[in-house]
Structure 1
Amino acid sequence: MTIPTLLWDICFFVFCGVIAIQLFYYLYFFQRLAFYQSPQKHTSLEHAVSVVICARDEAHNLVKTLPGVLVQQYQTTHEVVLVNDNSTDDTKYLVDEFKKMFKNINYIELTQEAKMISGKKFPLSMGIKSARHEILLLTDADCVPASEHWIQRMQECYTDGTEIVLGYGAYHKKPGLLNKLIRFETFHTAIQYLSYALAGIPYMGVGRNLSYKKEVFLRNKGFSSINQIPSGDDDLFINQVARPDNTTICIDPEAHTLSEPKTRWSDWMTQKYRHYTTSNYYKGSHKFLLALYSFSLFWIYPLLAVSIIFYNWWIPLIVFGIRFLVQAIVFFKGMKKLNETDLWPWFLFFDIWMFFYFIFTVPAIWKAPRKNWD
């Protein structure tokens, strides 16, 4: 056997190893969300809920999104805690108008910047501490609930021992390739953090749709351990406080939230680049699992191409086909759960796209986070 032949054999066996890793993630983790059935409840309790929203110069968004939060069909006591973080637009006057019609608005206006605390952790902390109720439901100023039963569905997931409920924050469906890529990346992230939670390894949540008890926040001294990091008020906080026995998920379509997606490639990549900088602060086991999955996903197509060209072309295609079939089934079922089925015909294209996406975003892991309010 010549050295080149040995090299191509090694490439093929490495390719098989990469496919085996991928199948492990799909069959051990991701199928949990794809085939998830919400536990049936014989009794339903309604908890008092505080919805917490932070806004900085978000009047243009609040005029469209706040009504969806305020008209929720929820009979039990609830409030909307709106924190105006040093806005210079018309946020205050807009809220004044809403307060004339809705008496459950708990308005907090901040007029000074917090020193040594990055991002929106300080305004969010003020909102949480001012909340009157134990169950907190967090969303962003540019998010609107997918239905009038958002509060109802999210709080229904609290059972004995539950302290954290992870929701799904989707993006509006619009024409264009960028919209599809943004929504696929959002789905791809969700199938990971929701499946990991179902496997007893919760590692993050998204601030667009997240609920936890106020006592959890106070018991862990809020964001004090991550105040120096610009982002992380959602994923890093959950990474620290979530446990297998205190975390559950809520994927009911009526419990989703919807946000306006970026319309320019540069804006989206900047946003994702900033978000990925926080992953360096995850727990070691979480970083290992996420890195191994990304590593295997990145190398599939380069190794497939080499194996087809320099090995027996039909064998690597069969190996890839096994992974393709499993992926197709899991993605279809997962997208159906999260109301993203229009993306399924594109999944192979998205899978190839992820190779280039990782090239753009992986360097963010080693970069220091930028100090942006997000």
Structure 2
Amino acid sequence: MIIDQFTLILGITVILLAIIASLASPFLHKVKMKSGKQISEHKETQPNLSIVIPVHNNATELQSNLPILLRQEYKGNYQVIIVADKGDRDVEELMKRLKEKHDNLYVTYLPDSSRYMSRKKLAITLGVRAAKTEWIAIINPTCKPVNEDWLTSWAENMEDDTDFVMGYVALGKSIPPIWRFEHIQTANNRLHSAQCGKAWATNCFNIAFRKSRFMEEDGFRGNLQITRGEYDFLTNKLGLNRNVTVDIRQASWLYEDEISDEEWKKRKKYFYASRNLLNGSRSYSLCMLFNNVMLYLSFLTSLAFSVFGYLSHNWIVLGCSSFSLLLLIVLRTFLASKVSRCLGGDIGLSHMFAYDMRLVWQNLGYKISYIRSDKNYFTSHKL
């Protein structure tokens, strides 16, 4: 068969599209195990620190997750500060029982009159103010460490030249695989950005910072109008253009075993509500748009040219199109699998490309859901 110019252009075009679409993948740059400087391990002494946990209707999670946080094997002094809603009897009774056994537990309650500010941001602010240490870790009551050595590993990041620490939260196997796939994609993207000096957001409820920096920056001032997004705002305000350490060592992971469908969708909609207030969100959105366009452009072009080659008996075009489709699937799956292994995704290789394609529409669904929502739902007070 004589290869004419038209056939040659089609073949080269479809293969180049597959290569570009693979290079546009959010999984192309994998977060490194340790960022910048090496983390000093096995210190003789470790900094005193406080773990602040904002609580809202989380008595069940606290009963399951709090005991192991109170039993950490740690060389320094540490305190767990619980900030809960006043009048939550389940939490109050649980705290009363635990305080009898643990001297490092401190509990304070939100006043009933706090109506014009995000209660979660207020809870974090009260917890930070109550802390007597320079270093403060903020975690969700739905998260827990796997053993008693987590705090020792986590505190190794708190060096003199570090301002902010970002960690990873792994999702339990009972959580739908598509959610876990999306979680590791987002976590990898944001943690890698932080390692490149652009810590602008996080989807992992596992951060630490200096109390002095929080007070100097007036805490959540500038984003009090949005009810949620507290971890993103803290990362953006205290981590952007600062000395940030990213720790994805498994010993420093937290784990979240269960997330309801309602809570998962809430998190996505709240991110859309808050992202315009985050420095760096625009470049992220453009990168994701480019990824989505290139992924579907390559996939659909390969399919269309395959059909054209078959119908026109142009076996060169058919071969190039089939090869480009296979190349796209293999490369995107390979890149995703590397990150998944690193971040404990435990997702089958055969599903990864399908999840990659599906996320485009799933994220579009989140955005449409946010657009159709009453925006007052995301606002803590009206000016």
The bucket for the TM-score relative to the shorter chain is 0.7 to 0.9
Task: Report the counterpart of residue 331 of structure 1 in structure 2.
Answer: 336
Alignment of structure 1 residues 221-232 onto 2, 5 Å: 221-232=218-229
Would you say 1:199 and 2:213 are equivalent positions? no
Q: For residue 167 of structure 1, what is the aligned residue in structure 2?
A: 167
CA change 1:43–1:94 in 2 (3 A) is closer
Are 2:226 and 2:379, in contact at CA under 8 Å, matched by a contact in 1? no
Secondary structure of the structure 2 residue equivalent to 1:258: strand
The 8 Å contact of residues 86 and 113 in structure 1, kept in 2 or not, is answered as no
SS of structure 2 residue aligned to 1:30: coil
RMSD, aligned α-carbons: 3.1
1:158-177 Cα shifts (integer Å, max 9, x gaps) = 23321111111122212xxx
Shift of the 160–328 alpha-carbon distance from structure 1 to 2, 3 Å rule, reads farther
Is residue 217 of structure 1 aligned with residue 214 of structure 2? yes
In the alignment, is residue 308 of structure 1 matched against residue 315 of structure 2? no
Q: 2:135 aligns to what?
A: 135
Give the fraction of aligned pairs with identical amino acids, expressed as a percent: 20
Tell me if structure 2 keeps the 8 A contact 1:65–1:142. Answer: yes
* Conserved? CA contact 1:68–1:148, under 8 Å: yes
2:232 aligned to 224, 231, 235, which one? 235
Contact preservation (8 Å) 1:204, 1:236: yes
Asked if 2 retains the 8 angstrom alpha-carbon contact of 1:203 and 1:238, the reply is: yes
Matched residue, 1:185: 182
Residue in structure 2 matched with residue 246 of structure 1 by the alignment: 243
Residues 319 and 278 of structure 1: is their aligned pair in 2 closer, same or farther, counting only changes over 3 Å?
Answer: farther
CA shift digits 1:122-144 (9 cap, x unpaired)? 11100011011111111111211
Instruction: Give the superposition deviation at 1:189.
Output: 0.9
- Counterpart code for 1:290: S
Distance 1:304 1:148, change over 3 A: same
Of 88-97 and 363-372, more deviation after overlay is shown by 363-372
1:328 Cα deviation (Å)?
Answer: 3.3
Give the deviation of 1:84 after TM superposition: 1.2
Q: CA deviation at 1:332?
A: 2.6
Mean CA deviation greater in 343-352 or 79-88: 343-352
| 2:377 matched residue in structure 1 | 370
Report which of the two structures shows the higher radius of gyration computed on alpha carbons: 2
**Structure 2 SS opposite 1:116:** coil
Structure 2 distance, partners of 1:26, 1:35, is: 19
Q: TM-score, normalised by structure 2?
A: 0.82
Partner of 1:116: 116
Contact 1:53 1:138 in 2 (8 A): yes
* Among candidates 244, 256, 264, match of residue 268 of structure 1: 264
What is the SS of the residue equivalent to 1:275?
A: helix
SS in 1 for 2:79: strand
- Distance in 1 between the 2:215 and 2:301 partners? 54
Please name the residue that 1:3 is paired with. none
For 2:296 and 2:177, the matched residues in 1 are separated by: 21
Distance 2:87 2:161 in 1: 38
Distance in 1 separating the partners of 2:284 and 2:267: 23
1:39 matched residue in structure 2: 38
Are residue 353 (structure 1) and residue 358 (structure 2) matched? yes
Task: Tell me the amino acid that sits aligned with residue 55 of structure 1.
Answer: V
Alignment partner, residue 80 of structure 2: 80
Distance 1:189 1:354 in 2: 11
Change (3 A) 1:113 1:56: farther
Structure 2 CA distance for partners of 1:162 and 1:296, relative to 1, 3 Å: same
2:283 aligned with 1:296, yes or no? no
| TM-aligned CA deviation for residue 331 of structure 1 | 2.5
Tell me, what secondary structure is at the counterpart of 1:225? coil
Query: 1:245/1:273 Cα in 2 relative to 1: closer, same or farther (>3 Å)?
Result: closer
Relative to 1, partners in 2 of residues 1:42 and 1:280: Cα closer, same or farther, differing over 3 Å? Answer: closer
How far apart are the structure 2 equivalents of 1:17 and 1:236?
Answer: 37
In structure 2, the residue matched to 1:282 is 278
Q: 1:268 to 1:245 in 2, by over 3 A?
A: closer
Residues 314, 287 of structure 1: CA spacing in aligned structure 2 closer, same or farther, 3 A cutoff? Answer: farther
| Paired residue total | 359
Shift in Å, 1:261: 2.6
In structure 2, stretches of 5+ residues that fail to align are 1-5, 309-316
* Aligned partner letter, 2:120: K
CA contact (8 A) 1:167 1:205 kept: no
- TM-score for both structures, normalised by structure 1: 0.84
Unmatched segments (≥5 aa) in structure 1: 1-5
- Given that 1:140 and 1:207 are in contact with CA atoms closer than 8 Å, whether structure 2 keeps it comes out as no
For residues 42 and 56 of structure 1, the distance between their equivalents in structure 2, rounded to whole angstroms, comes to: 35
Asked if the contact 1:34/1:331 (under 8 Å) is kept, the reply is: no
Q: CA deviation at 1:343?
A: 4.5
Distance of 2:236 and 2:369 partners within structure 1: 19
CA distance in 2, matches of 1:282, 1:290: 12
1:307-338 alpha-carbon deviations (Å, 9 max, x no partner): 42146344345445445444334333322222
